[in-house]
Chain A
Amino acid sequence: MVEITDVRINGRGGQGAVTASRLLAEAAILEGSYVHAFPNFGPERAGAPVTSFARICPEPFTEKTEVYEPHIVVVIDPTLLDDVPVADGLKPGGIIVVNYEGLKESLQKYFGDTHANIYKVAGSKIAMEEIGRNVPNLVMLGALIKITKIVKLESLVSVTKNRFRGALGEKNVSAIKRAFEEVE
């Protein structure tokens, strides 16, 4: 059996966590994979912590439960680090990708003994410079796919352009590509 990869996206209401999980799943579908991607179905308020999920597998699977033990966690908003245990349930040896402007070394303090591989990219800065707004959701996917290779950059670019036509799509693509290069 090929293992399913579970991705959790931690963000705040209004930052596009749901769009991010959807586009990640659409990119996986484009590559022939099977997916089950969904938001955490709570009431959503702008600014409140939210999660969304993408379950991805190269082969068909029938599991339809919520994700409790993700392999990969993406943190869209750095302020969540103080408020939310973003590493909750992360599989041993899992991957965390954080939107963070400081030094990578200073991230470790948020994760204590969590056995995880931690990566960071200045998602908000890239979003401000490339898109003109602090919407780092797709930016973070650029970083995520560089680290995990869960989908190809060209697939993510394709679904992003399909979702956001014209200039907005191009700006998001530029931001995604920068995060893809700058993640560390």
Chain B
Amino acid sequence: MSREVKGMTGDEAVAWAAKLVNPDVVAAYPITPQTIIVERYSDFVNNGEVDTSFIPVESEHSAMSACVGASLTGARVFTASASAGLALMYEILYVASGMRCPIVLAIANRAFSAPINIHGECTDQVVCRDTSWVSLFGESAQEAYDETILSFKIAEHPDVMLPAMFGIEGFIVTHALERVETLSKQQVEDFLPEYRSTKYRFNPDEKMTFGSLVLQDYYMEIKRQQEEAMQRAYTVTKDVMAEFSEMSGRKMEIIEEYQLEDADYAFVSYGATAGNAKAVVDRLRNKGEKVGALKIRLYRPFPSLDVQEALSGVKAASILDRSATFGSPGTIMQTDIATALYGKENVPTLHGYINGLGGRVLTLPEIEDIYEKTKDYHDVGMTMTTDWIGYRT
């Protein structure tokens, strides 16, 4: 298969991939570092290169509300946000999942205020973990491109019918140029057939109500249905990624294992940090260290079984978490992993490291230091530790 290659930033990759998807409706509000996605896409609309109805709105709350309304007519819907914008959407994120709207949301992961900061950090997305949205992270412009397309297929699957978000870190991915293997319009149309849901959607010939009051009598049943859909999303995501890998020739899995087969120690990370962790694994392997890396691509539903299998036999894991949490028993990813591994055999000790907040760079030498620190913790018998790394005291 001949592959066309283009230079794109992460934001551009999302916009170009969304163009191939050609959603019926895009409602979005610009916010750094997501802005380029919306700008490029509005160019495509303006130039008549897509059929999309573009709805410029006055806020992210309105953006997601417009997305929900559009999705309830059966339309295919896309939007993008970051940080404060995503936080402003938060109320409607629950409305979108509760009404089973398979909206796709691209996030340019950015730190929260205060103090105000526009740079990369994943807190904005991980705190949406309980919203009943499928949630993915991408490491590169290529993964941004690929996840844009496959997110629609996961979300719109009849067994799922939940919204999906995927995140790439602000600037270091969103604004950095990388080599991206593109897909053809035909490939995307074959992979993602035209979508127009008619089941439980508004149509001119039927009377229907959405968003009605549901109290003690049925509320919990609706929520339970969402949980069952989320559980099915685990298998659907695996299947969709397998199909995508076949179509694109690029291996895409819910987790990515790197040099883990014989590893005594492992880094666990997500997003761009995973790329740095792999680079450090290469350095340490050259020094004879038995170390590997695990990347979490699918964050919700959390791939507990896969993480457990990947880390089986590893002595100690360093969890590099680029998100902030305060007064928690561990980093956000660490508490998920600890829950997934609790009570199982052959599991590693877990050492969480909160790092990279507000765009602070975690350098490769710092990751090597983390490796040594984790070994020390393990050697003295500590099973669970949490540190902040890379700040001035």
A residues contacting B by CB (< 8 A) are 1, 21-22, 25-26, 29, 33-39, 41, 61-66, 68
Contacts and interface: CB of A to CB of B under 8 A. Distances in A.
Contacts of B286: 1
B364 A36 contact: no
A46 B262 CA distance: 53
B368 to A, nearest CB: 13
B73 interface: no
Nearest to B141: A36
Contact of B364 (A21, A25, A39, A65): A65
Nearest to A39: B175
Q: Which of A39, A41, A66 has the most CB of B within 10 A?
A: A41
Contacts of A22: 7, 177
A6 to B, nearest CB: 13
B178 interface: yes
A66 B139 CA distance: 15
Interface stretch (B213-221, B271-279, B298-306, B308-316): B271-279
A64 B282 contact: no
Nearest to A61: B279
A39 B286 CA distance: 31
A62 B276 contact: yes
Nearest to B172: A64
Contacts of B16: none
Nearest to A33: B179
Contacts of A29: 5-7, 179
A38 B7 contact: no
What interface size band does chain B fall in? Answer: 20 to 34
B296 to A, nearest CB: 15
A82 to B, nearest CB: 28
Contact of B175 (A33, A35, A38): A38
A38 B275 contact: no
Nearest to A34: B179
B87 interface: no
Contacts of B139: 62, 64
A25 B282 CA distance: 24
Where chain B touches its partner, the secondary structure class is mixed
Of A22, A34, A62, A66, chain B has the most CB atoms within 10 Å of the CB of A62
Interface string B125-148: 000000000000001100000000
A4 B171 CA distance: 21
Contacts of A62: 139-140, 274-276, 278-279
Contacts of B278: 62
> Which of A25, A36, A65 has the most CB atoms of chain B within a 10 A radius of its CB?
A65
Nearest to B279: A63
26 contacts: A1-B282, A25-B7, A26-B7, A29-B7, A29-B179, A33-B179, A34-B178, A35-B179, A36-B176, A37-B177, A37-B178, A38-B172, A38-B175, A38-B177, A39-B175, A41-B119, A41-B171, A62-B275, A62-B278, A63-B275, A63-B279, A63-B364, A64-B176, A65-B361, A65-B364, A68-B363
Contacts of A64: 139-140, 172-173, 176, 272, 275-276
Give the 4 A-B residue pairs with the shortest CB-CB distance, closest first: A62-B275, A38-B176, A37-B177, A63-B279
A63 B173 CA distance: 11
A62 B279 CA distance: 6
Contacts of B282: 1
A37 B7 CA distance: 10
Given A25-B7, A65-B364, A66-B361, A35 B177 contact: yes
Interface string B58-79: 0000000000000000000000
Contacts of B272: 64
Given A63-B364, A65-B363, 7 more contacts: A26-B7, A35-B7, A62-B275, A62-B278, A62-B279, A63-B276, A63-B279
A66 B175 CA distance: 13
B359 interface: yes
Given A26-B7, A63-B364, A37 B279 contact: no
Contact of B177 (A25, A41, A61): A25
A177 B361 CA distance: 37
A26 B178 CA distance: 9
Contact of A36 (B177, B359, B362): B177
Contacts of A65: 276, 361-364
Nearest to A43: B118
A64 B119 CA distance: 14
Given A29-B179, A62-B139, A63-B275, A41 B7 contact: no
Interface centre among B7, B140, B275 (most CB of A within 10 A): B7
A21 B7 CA distance: 12
Nearest to B362: A65
Contacts of B362: 65
Contacts of A1: 282, 286
A33 B178 CA distance: 10
Contacts of A35: 7, 177-179
A61 B275 CA distance: 8
